[in-house]
Amino acid sequence: MQIEIKKCMLRNEVALGATLGAQHMENLYQSIAKQTIPAGEIVILNFKGIEQVNGSYIKTTALWVFLCGQMAVNAPKAAIPARHFSDLRPYDLYVAVSNLSPEVRNEFNDFLQPRRIPMLLAKRFNDNKIEEAILLGHLDDALRMTLEALVKHEVSTAPRLFDLYPNENITVTAWNNRLNDLHALRLVRRVRSGRSWEYQPLTKKIIWE
């Protein structure tokens, strides 16, 4: 699904503050609270026409979706029950952003990097699929290499990557841990395949910058 921020803004091109971010996300908050969004959905926040954002706005929009997705992986049952529709709650969602002006892109990187959070900047996409993306924020070298391998092979498991990269001196357990980390960072999906998890990247192509 796609949320076009400009359509929430009337004539304004500046998206600042937590209050405004919460207003723009209200429909999404309520849909998640009512569980009307399919599990595994990618929420693409389209910033076309927006010239300025700040950390407070990012926190209540993109980061909020990211953290709900992480909660679904890390603490699906132990999480404190949400009391308000805008409270964080475990929900299997993924988030990406698109059409960032240079200033907005810099603001996202400045927000994400110290928090060691990666996020996809979708370059070619539709409401359900990302064809090409740039990685914003932070991703350590081991996970970057693993994501590259996964994008190259489109879908894989830890045992399969172990067989495909015999010279990397990476055990099946280490591959599995890396793939789990990428899933927790909301960069890949996973489904059961026999006794293993099968992983698929959110984007078909990544442009590394």
User: Would you state the pLDDT for residue 89?
Assistant: 81
User: Would you state the pLDDT for residue 9?
Assistant: 75
User: Would you state the pLDDT for residue 84?
Assistant: 54
User: Would you state the pLDDT for residue 12?
Assistant: 79
* 98 and 75 in a common domain: yes
Q: Which domain holds residue 122?
A: 2-137
* 25 and 111 in a common domain: yes
Total of domains in the chain:
2
Tokens describing residue 117: 């959070």
* 186 and 113 in a common domain: no
Residue spans of the chain under pLDDT 50: none
Conformational region of residue 145, where left means phi above 0, alpha means psi within -120 to 50, and beta covers everything else: alpha
Angle between helices 18-33 and 62-74 (to 10 degrees): 40
| pLDDT tens-digit map of 119-132 | 999 999 986 789 99
* 157 and 72 in a common domain: no
| pLDDT tens-digit map of 74-119 | 865 555 555 555 677 888 999 999 999 999 999 999 999 999 999 9
Amino acid sitting at position 125: F
* 152 and 122 in a common domain: no
* 129 and 32 in a common domain: yes
CATH number at residue 153: 1.10.10.10
* 132 and 151 in a common domain: no
Last residue of a domain, one of 82, 105, 137: 137
* 80 and 67 in a common domain: yes
User: Would you state the pLDDT for residue 29?
Assistant: 85
* 158 and 94 in a common domain: no
User: Would you state the pLDDT for residue 76?
Assistant: 58
Last residue of a domain, one of 137, 162, 182: 137
User: Would you state the pLDDT for residue 194?
Assistant: 78
User: Would you state the pLDDT for residue 208?
Assistant: 87
Q: Which of 61, 157, 146, 176 is nearest to 108 (CA)?
A: 61
User: CA 81, CA 154: separation in Å to the nearest integer?
Assistant: 36
Q: SS3 of 206, please? A: strand
* 60 and 74 in a common domain: yes
